[in-house]
Amino acid sequence: MKTIELSKAQQLVAEGINLSETERKVVQQERLHELVDYARQHSPYFAKLYANLPDNYTLSDLPITEKSKLLENYGDWVTDRELNLENVLAYVGRDESRSDELLLGKYTALRTSGSSGNPLPMVRDDHRNKIHAQLIAQRLCGQMDPDFLNIRKKKVATVIHTSNGASSYEAAKRMIQANLGYEHNFLCLSVLDSIEHIVEELNRFQPESMTGYPSVLVQLALQQQNGNLHLNLQALASSAEMLSEENFYLLQQAFNCPVANNYCMTEGGEIAMTHNCPHLHLNEDWIIVEPVDKDKKPLGETEEWSEGILVTDLTNYVQPIIRYYVNDVVRIKRMPLKCCPLPQLEIRGRVCPSYTLAGKTFTAAALVTKAEVWPGLTSYQFVQTNDNTLELRGTCQSGYDSAEVLGNLCQQIQGYFAENNASEAQVVWSEKPFVPNKQGGKIPVYIRIE
State phi, psi for 435 to the nearest 5 degrees: -105, 115
* pLDDT at 242 (0 to 100): 75
Task: Convert the pLDDT of each residue in 12-27 to its tens digit.
Answer: 999 999 899 999 999 9
Query: Any idea what DSSP says for residue 136?
Result: I
Residue 299 pLDDT exceeds 90? yes
Phi/psi zone of residue 414: left (φ > 0), alpha (ψ -120 to 50 degrees), beta? alpha
Q: Which residues make Cβ contacts (< 8 Å) with residue 380, sequence separation at least 6?
A: 371, 374, 392, 393, 394, 395, 445
Pairing type for strands 156-160 and 235-239 reads unpaired
Helix, strand, coil tally for the chain in percent (to 5): 35, 25, 40
* pLDDT at 167 (0 to 100): 67
Measured distance CA(14)–CA(194) in Å, rounded: 41
Within 10 Å of residue 266's Cβ, how many Cβ atoms? Answer: 23
Half-sphere exposure of 138 (CA within 13 A, CB side): 19
Query: Which burial class, exposed, middle or buried, applies to 295 when counting CB atoms under 10 A from its CB (0-12, 13-18, 19+)?
Result: exposed
**pLDDT averaged over the chain?**
88
Residue 100 pLDDT exceeds 60? yes
Q: Which residues make Cβ contacts (< 8 Å) with residue 404, sequence separation at least 6?
A: none
Which CATH architecture best describes the domain 6-348?
3-Layer(aba) Sandwich (3.40)
Domain with CATH 3.30.300.30 in the chain: 354-448
Give helix 195-205 / helix 214-225 axis angle, nearest 10°.
Answer: 70
Residue, of 78 and 192, whose pLDDT is higher: 78
* pLDDT at 116 (0 to 100): 38
H or E stretch including 253? helix 245-255
Measured distance CA(361)–CA(350) in Å, rounded: 19
State phi, psi for 102 to the nearest 5 degrees: -100, 145
Least confident of 183-197, 227-241, 350-364, 382-396: 350-364
Secondary structure (3-state) at 81: coil
Measured distance CA(141)–CA(134) in Å, rounded: 10
Residues 366, 382 contacting (CB under 8 angstroms): no
Domain with CATH 3.40.50.12780 in the chain: 6-348
The CATH number, out of the four listed (3.40.50.300, 3.90.1300.10, 3.30.300.30, 3.40.50.2000), of the domain defined by the range 354-448: 3.30.300.30
Please, which contacts does 177-181 make with residues 24 or more away whose CB atoms are closer than 8 Å? 177/99, 177/100, 178/100, 179/151, 179/152
Please, which pLDDT band fits residue 445 given cuts at 50, 70 and 90? confident
- Tell me the mean pLDDT in the region 271-295: 94
Task: Convert the pLDDT of each residue in 34-50 to its tens digit.
Answer: 999 999 999 999 999 99
Please, which pLDDT band fits residue 442 given cuts at 50, 70 and 90? low
Task: Convert the pLDDT of each residue in 154-202 to its tens digit.
Answer: 999 998 877 666 667 777 887 787 788 999 999 999 876 777 888 999 9
Measured distance CA(232)–CA(350) in Å, rounded: 33
Residues 201, 228 contacting (CB under 8 angstroms): no
| pTM for this entry | 0.74
Residues 379, 223 contacting (CB under 8 angstroms): no
Measured distance CA(390)–CA(387) in Å, rounded: 9
